[in-house]
Amino acid sequence: MANEVKVPTLGESVTEATIGEWLKKPGEAVALDEPIASLETDKVAIEVPAPVAGVMGDYKAEVGDTVEVGAIIATIEDGSPSAGPEDTKERKPEAAPAPSASPAPAAASSASDDSKVDASSTLSPAVRRAVLEHGIDPSTVKGTGKDGRLTKEDVLAAAKNKQDNGSAGSTSAPAADAPSAGPSRKVERVKMTRLRQTIAKRLKSAQDTAALLTTFNDVDMSAVIEARNQYKDLFAKKHDVRLGFMSFFAKAACLALKDVPAVNAQIEGNEVLYHDFIDLSVAVSAPNGLVVPVVRNVESMSFSEIELAIANYGKKAKDGSLSMDDMKGGTFTISNGGVFGSLMSTPIINPPQSAVLGLHRIEERPVAVNGQVVIKPMMYMALSYDHRIIDGREAVTALKIIKDAIEDPMRILIDL
């Protein structure tokens, strides 16, 4: 008997999704609630669980197809996978073939190619592109994603390792008669994922709608670095999470948003909504692009609670298990481009929010202190804001409050 697999409810106001990848092939055994497909929505990737145990049947939709909530996308047959007659027959031992110079390598090459094809057929489009670009055999890379699946980061790490090993081992001179490869002119056309399309529309909408402006400041990170170095081991031992810089900036932002409420507000029609809470959107890198899960009521959270929430979202983003509720809402955003080496940027607000704080890399620079030139660990900060409801004075004031709190963390403790 064939059991239908339907697109589940995707969340409030979300009516359709795109087939991102199939996690089970026809004929494979499927356990109850085991993920069999990944759907891409406007915000997150959602896995479709098997409604019954059995054998994966036919696909009713292909990768890249748009499907609506309730649509049938596959079937699951009752029973268990059965081996074919060729597999069930007892095989008699065969005499070893005579040595041959050419067939053996050809067979090995064929088997290797088959394993590559088999391994790459379950990869997501982003991972598959990375595999092709870097010439990596996916069957030789251990996946760190959910259920051991390969992520783009796994492939990039394997490519870097391959490059490093190749550089170390390339001591012999190239053959004199080796033909020189000409420049590549290859063009690959890849359809944008639904998530990437949505990101593009939202960011362009922000540019078209909001009166965007960015103000900058730099901050001396000495005090925060010193505090982190002094307490990070005790913090990790007590709370089982690493003490990072994001909790300091989150709490500093809370001081600024309470003193300058317009930065935590948003426009709705002809009205401005002022929030007495702070739901912090934290930009997190995921295999399919940047996602922005929300840490709610940050103003009432401790440092450890903030770090635990961010670490949990980072893990969920990596293995693709973020839910629609994780992404919903948000009144203010912090984006840390410094982890990728960015020196300075003008971040774009995340509609309908009205401001975003951009953090950048920390680097030692000469600065003047009491008439003396000293070396300090400095960071550029950028606050992009919607000038329709936030005046320049308010934006500069908010950024200055964050700067003062980071340079003197005691202000965070005494709410100054």
Sign of the dihedral through C-alpha 124, 127, 128, 129: positive
Q: State the amino acid at position 234 in one-letter form.
A: L
Helix axes 222-239, 303-319, angle to 10 degrees: 80
User: 139 burial class (0-12, 13-18, 19+ CB within 10 angstroms)?
Assistant: middle
The angle formed by the CA atoms of residues 243, 246 and 247, to the nearest 5 degrees, is 65
- 66, 192 Cβ separation under 8 angstroms: no
Of the candidates 385, 391, 415, the one whose C-alpha atom is nearest the C-alpha of residue 401 is 415
Structure tokens at 117: 């094809």
- 384, 212 Cβ separation under 8 angstroms: yes
Structure tokens at 170: 């390339």
Judging by DSSP bridges, how do beta strands 35-40 and 45-49 pair with one another?
A: antiparallel
Instruction: Please tell me whether residue 37 adopts helix, strand or coil conformation.
Output: strand
What is the b/e burial string over 391-414, where b = at least 16 CB atoms within 10 angstroms of the residue's CB? eeebbbbbbbbbbebbeebebbee
Rounded distance between C-alpha atoms, residue 188 and residue 131, angstroms: 14
Judging by DSSP bridges, how do beta strands 29-30 and 72-77 pair with one another?
A: unpaired
Catalytic sites, residue numbers: 387, 391
Around 413, how many Cα atoms within 13 Å sit in the side-chain half-sphere? 6
What is the b/e burial string over 157-184, where b = at least 16 CB atoms within 10 angstroms of the residue's CB? ebbeeeeeeeeeeeeeeeeeeeeeeeee
